[in-house]
Copies of this chain bind each other. A is one copy, B any other.
Amino acid sequence: MVGFEPVMLAPIAGALALAFAGYLTFRIMRQPVGTERMRELSSTIYRGAMTFLNKEYQVMVVYAVIVAVILMLVVNHQTAAAFVTGAFFSALAGNVGMRVATKSNARTAAAAKQSISKGLIVGFSSGAVMGMCVVGLGILGVSIFYYLFGDPRIIVGFGFGASSIALFARVGGGVYTKSADMGADLVGKVEARIPEDDPRNPAVIADNVGDNVGDVAGMGADLFESYVGSIIAAMVIGFTGVTVGGVMLNQTDAVVLPMLLAAVGIFCSIVATFFVRTKRGAGLKTLHAALNKGVFGSAILIAVASFFLIWYFVGAVEIFWAMLSGLVAGIMIGLSAEYYTENRFSPVQSIAISSQTGPATNVISGLSVGMLSTMIPIIAVVGAISFAYYITLPNGLYGIAIAAVGMLSTLGMTLATDTYGPVADNAAGIAEMAGMGQTVRKRAERLDAVGNTTAAIGKGFAIGSAALTALALFSAYTKGMADAGITMNLSITNPSVIVGLFIGGMLPFLFCALTMRAVGRGASLIVSEVRRQFRTIPGLMKGKAKPDYNRCIEISTSAALRNMALPAALAILTPIAVGLFSPEALGGLLAGSIVTGLLLAITLANSGGAWDNAKKYIEDGHLGGKGSETHAASVIGDTVGDPFKDTSGPSLNILIKLMAMVALLFVPLLLKIWGA
């Protein structure tokens, strides 16, 4: 060890990420917003998003205060403080990311007017702000609490805070965005036959707000949770020191290493953002290649840098292989998502073909593609955890946690390409609503199309990392129980474990059912409201009167808020109740929920993405093109896929992580109190 404390790299990386985010924001804000109409649209979306966030914060604050008090009473003040900070940091990252995203949409459209490459840079920069905020605040929070208390078990509180916010952001944001989207489409596109993003549609602003609320703030909070969760799990497992291969890591090294790997990831991601450049008249392929350069570039940089870091810092190269297995698994899951959801490949085309015999065969074929698409990700996850475990024996659990850290080490970059999607989507919407003309609309749509792919890959990545993080947290839970002196028989021949597996396996199904129902109900309220406005506002359809956008925003907001309570209660109270009843059943419950959660989430995300692109494939002129019966059938699958890929599927990421986090934080402790 040299004079400089390596652990200092973590807060430095965090500060640098935030500074870089500030720099990017400054550059974005200097871009022109465009015409008055564009400014107006952008600020309406901005205000709608803020309205939702502020309402959501009211709920969160009540929740956070109650939980903080409970933590103070049951655990300790430090953990309560960590919890509040975790919740605040997650909300802050989401808030900043979303502010910048909603400020960037019109600017991206305006930049696309100059050239498509300018549009890409503005849109991507705004995504990078989100990415940098998430990793920066994440690593800062973890390292500050490590500096203050030196005990990873307290930092679990930070993770729990982040998890809680993620639940609200994902479930609330997911219900919001799809209630608005489906409602807008069902009346606008299907009944009134006006195009997507038409300003006469009263739900159009709510729809655009939803893209930000769900895909920016929700996705950000989700991955903030995975990011800090994986680091914390590795720290908790490393807390008693680990032996890997022939090398013994003392407690400090084993706890600090995950933070250092994350820090390296941040440095490399910042460098890699500069790889995302393209030339003026870029086509779809070139745009795609530009973003890929960023993603793969950051992965390669991180692999090289962390090899040297591990070699120099702890000397156990086995840990590098564990980390690399996570990184590779993440990329495999992303590529598999791309294969199953991209126009160019046979799965999507087979869905398009089956749309020729109507919506029913379209739906069946999409579901079957989604289910089939679980295979590669499962193999990737299973391969990564076995490899990571066996190579880092005798402390294999540490290896699994490090694999999760490895998968998430590229987050600064992957989240940037991810968040770029909704920004480009909004830009295309604004280009349409503001009547910017064919050329700009075409460019914006091209930017949007690339964004759809990155969003699908991003979703796959979010799911895979959630599963790996949840597994790491689950391992930390079993280790925590052992450390607390509670012995468990976690054999699957133990009926308690089987009971846990079944209940845990069922929870994702229940969670999906609840969130889908919420979207269905929210969408039907929007449908009634849009129909009402079409009927009662004179001159609306002729474009002579303005619709009441705010009413739709309010409806989506209240649908989202009303439907957060039950899933939240389910995710937090079930593990505590089951754990107090039987910690072995809780073990089974966590394992069961991770298995079916991962499978369902992949199925829902990929079938949703595949339906979306099958529709686009037909719109591109295949099989009869737009306006044909085949196209109409494909629109139905696309609509079914909306809550699949943007509400229910992503919510499962949170469910499995949050339950594991709750188990890790509360159960060993409560059982100790119980036993005393």
A residues near B (Cβ < 8 Å) are 182, 186, 190, 354, 357-361, 363-365, 367-372, 374-375, 378, 381-382, 385-386, 389-390, 396-397, 400, 471, 475, 478, 489-493, 495-499, 501-503, 505-506, 509-510, 512-514, 516-517, 519-520, 523-524, 527, 587-588, 591-592, 595-596, 598-599, 603, 636, 639-640, 643
Contact = CB atoms under 8 A, between A and B. Distances in A.
Contact of A520 (B368, B374, B510): B368
B490 A374 contact: no
A292 to B, nearest CB: 28
B592 A595 contact: yes
Given A186-B357, A592-B595, A509 B371 contact: yes
Contact of A595 (B382, B389, B595): B595
Contacts of A491: 489-492
14 contacts: A186-B361, A357-B524, A360-B636, A363-B363, A365-B520, A368-B512, A378-B502, A378-B505, A382-B502, A389-B495, A490-B491, A498-B591, A506-B599, A509-B603
B478 A493 contact: yes
Contacts of A497: 492
B371 A513 contact: yes
Given A186-B357, A527-B357, A588 B364 contact: no
Contact of A501 (B365, B371, B510, B595): B595
Contact of A471 (B368, B498, B591): B498
Contacts of A365: 516-517, 520
B186 A358 contact: yes
Given A364-B643, A371-B516, A596-B599, 8 more contacts: A358-B636, A367-B516, A368-B517, A371-B512, A372-B510, A471-B498, A498-B591, A502-B595
A364 B596 contact: no
Kindly report how many copies of this chain are found in the complex they form together.
2
B360 A503 contact: no
Given A498-B385, A499-B382, A358 B190 contact: yes
Contacts of A492: 490-492, 497, 587-588, 591
Give me the 8 closest cross-chain CB pairs, A-B, nearest first.
Answer: A360-B639, A371-B513, A372-B513, A368-B516, A505-B595, A371-B509, A389-B495, A490-B491
Contact of A495 (B371, B374, B390, B506): B390
A504 to B, nearest CB: 8
Nearest to A369: B513
A242 to B, nearest CB: 16
A606 to B, nearest CB: 11
Contacts of A505: 378, 505, 595-596, 599
A525 to B, nearest CB: 11
Contacts of A381: 502
B498 A364 contact: no
Contact of A510 (B374, B397, B513, B587): B374
A182 B361 CA distance: 9
A506 B493 CA distance: 20
A186, A501, A588, A643: most-surrounded residue (chain B CB, <10 A): A501
A503 B490 CA distance: 19
A378 B357 CA distance: 36
A393 to B, nearest CB: 10
Contacts of A360: 182, 186, 636, 639-640
Contacts of A368: 512-514, 516-517, 520
A372 B361 CA distance: 24
A361 B510 contact: no
A186, A505, A512, A519: most-surrounded residue (chain B CB, <10 A): A505
A595 B596 contact: yes
A499 B359 contact: no
Contacts of A502: 378, 381-382, 595, 598
Contacts of A524: 354, 357, 361
Contacts of A596: 505, 595-596, 599
A636 B186 contact: no
A596 B588 CA distance: 14
A386 B499 contact: yes
Contacts of A374: 506, 509-510
A375 B400 CA distance: 32
Contacts of A400: 495
Contact of A359 (B478, B520, B603, B636): B636
Nearest to A528: B357
A587 to B, nearest CB: 6
Nearest to A494: B490
Nearest to A490: B491
A490 B587 CA distance: 13
B519 A364 contact: yes
A354, A378, A478: most-surrounded residue (chain B CB, <10 A): A378
A80 B643 CA distance: 51
A641 to B, nearest CB: 9
Contacts of A478: 493
A305 to B, nearest CB: 28
Contacts of A509: 371-372, 374, 599, 603
A389 B499 CA distance: 11
A502 B329 CA distance: 15
A398 to B, nearest CB: 13
A516 B360 CA distance: 12
A358, A372, A375: most-surrounded residue (chain B CB, <10 A): A358
A361 B357 CA distance: 19
Contacts of A599: 505-506, 509, 596
A588, A598, A640: most-surrounded residue (chain B CB, <10 A): A640
A598 to B, nearest CB: 7
Contact of A640 (B357, B364, B498): B364
A489 B478 CA distance: 15
A359 B512 CA distance: 19
Contacts of A495: 385-386, 389-390, 396, 400
B520 A364 contact: yes
A201 to B, nearest CB: 16
Contacts of A186: 357-358, 360-361
A71 to B, nearest CB: 27
Given A386-B495, A492-B588, A595-B592, A640 B363 contact: yes
